[in-house]
Amino acid sequence: MSPERRVSSGLDRIAQADPEALAHVAGRRVGLLCHAASVDRRLRPARAVLEAAGVRVVSLFGPEHGLSAAAQDMIGVASAQSGLPVHSLYGDTFEHLSPTPAQLAGLDALVVDLQDVGSRYYTYVWTAALGLVACARQGIPLVVLDRPNPLGGDRVEGAPQRPGYRSFVGLYDVSVRHGLTMGELLRLVRAREGLPDSSLELVTMQGYTRAMGFADTGLPWVLPSPNMPTLDTALVYPGGCLLEGTTLSEGRGHTRPFEIWGAPWLDGERLASELADDEWLRGARLRPLHFSPTFHKHAGQSCGGVQVHVLEAEAFQPYAAYLRMIEAAHRQCPRGTSFFRTEVYEYVVDRPALDLLTGGSEVRTALEAGTDLDALLRAQQVGAEAFESERAPHLSYD
**pLDDT score, position 65:** 83
**pLDDT score, position 76:** 47
Q: Give 2's pLDDT tier (boundaries 50, 70, 90).
A: very low
Question: Which has the closest alpha carbon to 18: 267, 249, 204, 235?
Answer: 204
**pLDDT score, position 236:** 98
Question: How many residues make up the chain in this entry?
Answer: 398
**pLDDT score, position 318:** 98
Distance CA 180, CA 10 (A): 15
The answer on pLDDT for 156 being more than 70 is yes
Spell out the alpha helix ranges (H) of the chain.
10-15, 19-22, 46-52, 101-104, 124-138, 182-193, 231-240, 268-274, 318-332, 353-358, 362-369, 374-391
**Chain segment 55-95, per-residue pLDDT in tens:** 999 999 999 988 975 555 545 445 555 689 999 999 889 99
Looking at the DSSP assignment, which residues form a beta bridge with residue 39? Answer: 45
Average pLDDT over residues 330-355: 96
The answer on pLDDT for 1 being more than 90 is no
CB contact burial 376-389 (16+ within 10 A = b; e otherwise): bbeebbebbeebbe
The answer on pLDDT for 179 being more than 90 is yes
**pLDDT score, position 83:** 84
**pLDDT score, position 296:** 87
Average pLDDT over residues 177-186: 98
Proportion of the chain above pLDDT 70, given as a percent: 95
**pLDDT score, position 72:** 53
**pLDDT score, position 5:** 56
Average pLDDT over residues 213-229: 95
**pLDDT score, position 398:** 83
Proportion of the chain above pLDDT 90, given as a percent: 91
Instruction: Determine contact, residues 193/84, Cβ cutoff 8 Å.
Output: no
**pLDDT score, position 87:** 95
The answer on pLDDT for 382 being more than 90 is yes
Spatial neighbors of 211 by CB under 8 A, at least 6 apart, are: 152, 153, 154
Q: Give 254's pLDDT tier (boundaries 50, 70, 90).
A: confident
In the chain the domains, ranked by start, together with CATH numbers, are: 3-222+388-394 (3.40.50.12170), 231-360 (3.90.1150.140)
- How much of the chain is helix, strand and coil, in % rounded to 5? 35, 15, 50
**pLDDT score, position 92:** 87
The answer on pLDDT for 357 being more than 90 is yes
**pLDDT score, position 80:** 54
Distance CA 397, CA 209 (A): 6
Residue with the larger pLDDT of the pair 35 and 2? 35
**Chain segment 362-379, per-residue pLDDT in tens:** 999 999 999 999 999 999
Average pLDDT over residues 315-320: 97
**pLDDT score, position 68:** 75
**pLDDT score, position 74:** 45
